[in-house]
């Protein structure tokens, strides 16, 4: 019982010191928007003011007004939270601690997150909600597990051990202290090392490992003597703990030197009333057990008075039990019974189980008539205590199990999510690759089909032109033959007949003369008609001209019907179509086709103009529309424009494309004149 109170106060004191010491926290060196000087000013004002919450609340509002908090702000907020805690506002302390926890998680600051968990744990520990306190300190340890060299990580195990010690789980409390000691290693922080040794010592003592407990206490005492300041109580506390170990074993003579040294050190200190009363009662009890003297009564009463004045109810109960023992030994049964009853009432009022057990045990020895009643009550409370301790241990085990289970589920979920993201990424990549491959294959097939269709169209056109040329040549030859036959045969004979008739016309008979004259006129008419037919059949140049123009005109009329766009078509009469090579005609026809197709597909034009001309052995071709146009400098050329460029290049011509956004498009090309094979022959 004595150990629990000393250990708890010591750990809380060390924890507060480490949390408020700005030089111990690396985050304190960072600079935030709310300056450290400003924060210090508010905290100093709160410290010296009769109403400190005016300044603390003002500072809190400043933090709340900040849209974005950084790591330095969170550290300064923790200082503010501690001030609320010290000034008696634990609910505000908890609220700020929860805010720090949320923001620390967002900023991914493990150390600050662990400290927020610790602050919340400390709140629940003060409220005696040890299960919640244990849960949050376990979360703090889990958060900081990847930083085992951090000094605060060792402190967390000390706080965990403190909770376990308070709940009677001495084995795990000892293990937590040993874990903290191992983590400290060669670190030069004697205060935390002292606390770890003290936790191990008192836990070992409760488990009756007396020699190990004394060894740890002596090591802690050596550290305390090296570092204790004038107002410190570590040496006195350790000396008292060492004396209590011997006293608990019935070695009262061995305990007295430790109590005397502690009492000599503490008697002039103003801040050690609680510890002074404890040491005074302990040394008095050991001396009384040795000599059963009445001289110890004033010291028992002084210790009781100090504990009553400082509202130390557990210490007051111990003093009452010791007085009851004293009075019983002095045969003052009424006083002994009265003090034991006071101890029982006070224990029940504060729900202090250890005090209740001590009181029932003492009453069973004093009131012999009701010994069985008190022993039954003692056993009932003892069984309840054991059951509560078992429930508490199971509760801690469940908290640890749930924590481990949550951690395992979190890791499994992270693994599952990671696999899901990887799988989804691979699926998307595969889908994109398959789409690209299929798209490229489709475009390749389309390009091949277009090329094949273009070659087929060129072959068909060549065949048509060749067939048309053959037909024209045959027709021309036939016309010449007929014209020749008419001219040389029929006309010759008719001419001979006309000569004969003219000779007969020399006959003087009147009836012959009139008939001859009529026949001669008819023959002259026939001759004239035959000459006209012969001349008409020899007009090859005009036929050849009309043949290419008919193909172009037919294409233009077809496009106008399909797309309802007016097209102006103009040919210069000077173009020698009969002398132009068929290859030039084919390519001109294809270029016109491609230009019309691009215009209808992309330009959205409402008017098209086509011109063809001839000058200085060059064939000119121009195509204009009033469509939306495009940027010729930026836009990559499509297949259509590439085909036009390729055709002009193959023919040795020149191509010029003029276009801009919303200003239409103009295609202008010139081709060198080349005679057709028939003309060359």
Predicted pLDDT at 542: 46
pLDDT in tens, 590-608: 898 888 888 888 888 889 9
When pLDDT is averaged across residues 482-494 and rounded to a whole number, the result is: 60
Portion of the chain with pLDDT greater than 90, in percent: 25
Predicted pLDDT at 117: 94
When pLDDT is averaged across residues 487-510 and rounded to a whole number, the result is: 61
Predicted pLDDT at 446: 81
pLDDT in tens, 519-546: 666 667 666 666 666 665 555 444 544 5
Predicted pLDDT at 139: 92
Question: Is residue 669 assigned to a domain?
Answer: yes
When pLDDT is averaged across residues 182-189 and rounded to a whole number, the result is: 83
Q: pLDDT-derived band of residue 320, with 50, 70 and 90 as boundaries?
A: very high
Distance of CA 463 to the CA centre of its chain: 67
Predicted pLDDT at 509: 64
Residue 13 has pLDDT above 80, yes or no: no
Lowest mean per-residue pLDDT among 185-189, 282-286, 641-645: 185-189
Q: Are residues 510 and 594 in the same domain?
A: no
Beta-bridge mates of residue 570: 611
pLDDT in tens, 435-473: 899 888 888 888 887 777 777 766 776 776 677 677 767
Q: Are residues 509 and 596 in the same domain?
A: no
Question: Is residue 466 assigned to a domain?
Answer: yes
Predicted pLDDT at 541: 45
Q: How far apart are CA 36 and CA 27, in angstroms?
A: 12
Q: pLDDT-derived band of residue 64, with 50, 70 and 90 as boundaries?
A: confident
Q: How many CB atoms lie within 10 A of CB 139?
A: 22
Last residue of a domain, one of 538, 553, 575: 538
Distance of CA 326 to the CA centre of its chain: 71
Residue 410 has pLDDT above 80, yes or no: no
Q: State which H helix or E strand residue 444 sits in.
A: helix 371-485
Q: Are residues 571 and 500 in the same domain?
A: no
Question: Is residue 575 assigned to a domain?
Answer: yes
Q: How far apart are CA 461 and CA 467, in angstroms?
A: 9
Residue 402 has pLDDT above 70, yes or no: no
Q: pLDDT-derived band of residue 32, with 50, 70 and 90 as boundaries?
A: very low
Domain that holds residue 534: 396-538
Question: Is residue 420 assigned to a domain?
Answer: yes
Predicted pLDDT at 366: 87
Q: Are residues 509 and 569 in the same domain?
A: no
Q: How many CB atoms lie within 10 A of CB 88?
A: 10
Question: Is residue 108 assigned to a domain?
Answer: no
Question: Is residue 600 assigned to a domain?
Answer: yes
Predicted pLDDT at 350: 87
Burial of 259 per CB tally in 10 Å (0-12, 13-18, 19+): buried
Q: Are residues 523 and 584 in the same domain?
A: no
Evaluated on CA atoms 58, 59, 60, 64, the torsion sign reads: positive
Predicted pLDDT at 394: 59
Q: Are residues 534 and 612 in the same domain?
A: no
Residue 409's φ and ψ, nearest 5 degrees, are -65, -40
Q: How far apart are CA 97 and CA 231, in angstroms?
A: 30
Residue 8 has pLDDT above 50, yes or no: no
Residue 38 has pLDDT above 80, yes or no: yes
When pLDDT is averaged across residues 548-566 and rounded to a whole number, the result is: 84
Residue 275 has pLDDT above 70, yes or no: yes
Last residue of a domain, one of 519, 538, 557: 538
What's the CATH code of the domain at 649? 3.30.565.10
When pLDDT is averaged across residues 237-246 and rounded to a whole number, the result is: 91
Domain count, the chain: 2
Q: Are residues 534 and 575 in the same domain?
A: no
Q: Are residues 509 and 605 in the same domain?
A: no
Predicted pLDDT at 677: 44
Residue 100 has pLDDT above 70, yes or no: yes
pLDDT in tens, 572-582: 888 887 778 77
Question: Is residue 320 assigned to a domain?
Answer: no
Residue 314 has pLDDT above 80, yes or no: yes
Predicted pLDDT at 30: 38
Roughly what angle, to the nearest 10 degrees, separates helices 2-20 and 151-166?
A: 150
Predicted pLDDT at 544: 46
Q: Are residues 478 and 576 in the same domain?
A: no
When pLDDT is averaged across residues 611-630 and rounded to a whole number, the result is: 89
Q: Are residues 434 and 534 in the same domain?
A: yes
Lowest mean per-residue pLDDT among 251-265, 284-298, 543-557, 617-631: 543-557
Q: Are residues 528 and 607 in the same domain?
A: no
When pLDDT is averaged across residues 492-513 and rounded to a whole number, the result is: 62
Q: Are residues 503 and 622 in the same domain?
A: no
Contact 77, 19 (CB under 8 A): no
Matching residue, tokens 């409370």: 381
User: Between residues 419 and 648, which one has the greater pLDDT?
Assistant: 648
When pLDDT is averaged across residues 383-387 and rounded to a whole number, the result is: 72
Q: How many CB atoms lie within 10 A of CB 381?
A: 17
Residue 127 has pLDDT above 50, yes or no: yes
Instruction: Mark residue 209 as left, alpha or beta (left: phi above 0; alpha: psi -120 to 50; beta: remaining).
Output: beta
Q: pLDDT-derived band of residue 584, with 50, 70 and 90 as boundaries?
A: confident
pLDDT in tens, 204-217: 988 888 899 999 99
Question: Is residue 149 assigned to a domain?
Answer: no
Residue 485 has pLDDT above 70, yes or no: no
Contact 43, 83 (CB under 8 A): yes
| Averaged confidence pLDDT in the chain | 80
Of 286, 296, 243, nearest in space to 266 by CA: 243
Per residue in 592-617, is it b (16+ CB within 10 Å) or e — as a string?
A: bbbbbebbbeebebeebebebbbeee
């Amino acid at each position: 019982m004595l150990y629990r109170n000393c250990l708890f106060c010591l750990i809380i004191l060390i924890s507060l010191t480490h949390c408020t010491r700005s030089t111990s926290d690396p985050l304190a060196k960072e600079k935030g928007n709310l300056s450290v000087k400003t924060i210090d000013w508010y905290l100093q004002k709160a410290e010296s003011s009769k109403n400190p919450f005016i300044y603390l609340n003002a500072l809190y509002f400043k933090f709340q007004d900040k849209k974005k908090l950084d790591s330095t702000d969170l550290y300064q907020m923790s200082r503010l939270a501690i001030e609320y805690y010290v000034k008696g506002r634990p609910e505000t302390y908890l609220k700020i601690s929860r805010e720090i926890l949320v923001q620390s998680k967002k900023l991914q600051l493990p150390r600050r997150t662990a400290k927020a968990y610790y602050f919340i744990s400390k709140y629940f520990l003060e409220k005696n909600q040890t299960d919640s306190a244990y849960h949050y300190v376990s979360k703090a340890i889990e958060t900081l597990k990847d930083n085992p060299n951090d000094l605060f990580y060792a402190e967390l195990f000390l706080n965990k051990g403190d909770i376990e010690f308070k709940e009677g789980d001495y084995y795990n409390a000892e293990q937590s202290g040993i874990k903290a000691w191992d983590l400290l290693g060669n670190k030069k922080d004697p205060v935390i090392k002292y606390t770890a040794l003290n936790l191990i010592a008192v836990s070992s003592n409760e488990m009756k490992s007396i020699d190990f407990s004394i060894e740890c206490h002596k090591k802690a005492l050596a550290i305390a003597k090296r570092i204790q300041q004038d107002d410190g109580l570590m040496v006195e506390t350790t000396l008292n703990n060492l004396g209590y170990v011997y006293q608990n074993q019935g070695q009262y003579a061995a305990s007295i030197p430790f109590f005397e040294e502690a009492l000599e050190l503490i008697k002039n200190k103003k801040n050690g009333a609680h510890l002074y009363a404890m040491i005074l009662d302990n040394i008095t009890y050991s001396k009384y057990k040795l000599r059963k003297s009445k001289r110890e009564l004033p010291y028992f009463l002084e210790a009781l008075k100090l504990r009553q004045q400082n509202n130390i109810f557990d210490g007051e109960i111990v003093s009452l039990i010791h007085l009851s023992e004293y009075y019983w030994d002095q045969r003052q049964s009424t006083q002994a019974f009265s003090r034991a009853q006071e101890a029982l009432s006070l224990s029940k009022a504060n729900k202090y189980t250890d005090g209740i057990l001590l009181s029932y045990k003492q009453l069973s020895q004093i009131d012999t008539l009701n010994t069985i009643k008190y022993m039954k009550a003692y056993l009932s409370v003892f069984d309840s205590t054991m059951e509560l301790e078992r429930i508490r241990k199971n509760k801690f085990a469940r908290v640890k199990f749930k924590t481990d289970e949550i951690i395992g589920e979190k890791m499994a979920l992270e693994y599952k999510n990671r696999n899901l993201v990887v799988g989804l990424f691979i699926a998307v990549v595969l889908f994109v690759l398959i789409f690209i491959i299929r798209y490229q294959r489709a475009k390749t097939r389309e390009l091949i089909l277009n090329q094949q269709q273009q070659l087929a169209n060129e072959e068909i056109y060549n065949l048509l032109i060749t067939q048309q040329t053959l037909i024209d040549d045959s027709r021309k030859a036939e016309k010449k033959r007929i014209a020749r036959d008419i001219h040389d045969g029929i006309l010759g004979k008719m001419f001979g007949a006309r000569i004969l008739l003219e000779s007969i016309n020399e006959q003087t008979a009147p009836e012959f003369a009139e008939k001859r004259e009529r026949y001669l006129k008819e023959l002259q008419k026939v001759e004239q008609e035959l000459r006209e037919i012969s001349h008409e059949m020899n007009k090859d140049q005009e036929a050849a001209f009309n043949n290419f123009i008919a193909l172009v005109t037919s294409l233009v009329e077809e496009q106008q019907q399909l797309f309802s766009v007016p097209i102006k078509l103009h040919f210069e009469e000077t173009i020698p179509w009969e002398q132009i090579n068929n290859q030039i005609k084919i390519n001109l026809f294809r270029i016109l086709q491609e230009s019309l197709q691009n215009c209808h597909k992309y330009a959205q034009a409402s008017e098209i103009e086509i011109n063809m001309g001839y000058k200085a052995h060059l064939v000119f071709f121009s195509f204009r529309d009033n469509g939306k146009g495009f940027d010729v400098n930026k836009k990559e050329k499509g297949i259509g424009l590439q085909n036009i460029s390729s055709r002009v290049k193959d023919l040795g011509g020149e191509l010029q494309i003029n276009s801009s956004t919303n200003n239409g498009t103009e295609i202008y090309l010139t081709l060198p004149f080349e005679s057709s094979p028939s003309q060359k022959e």
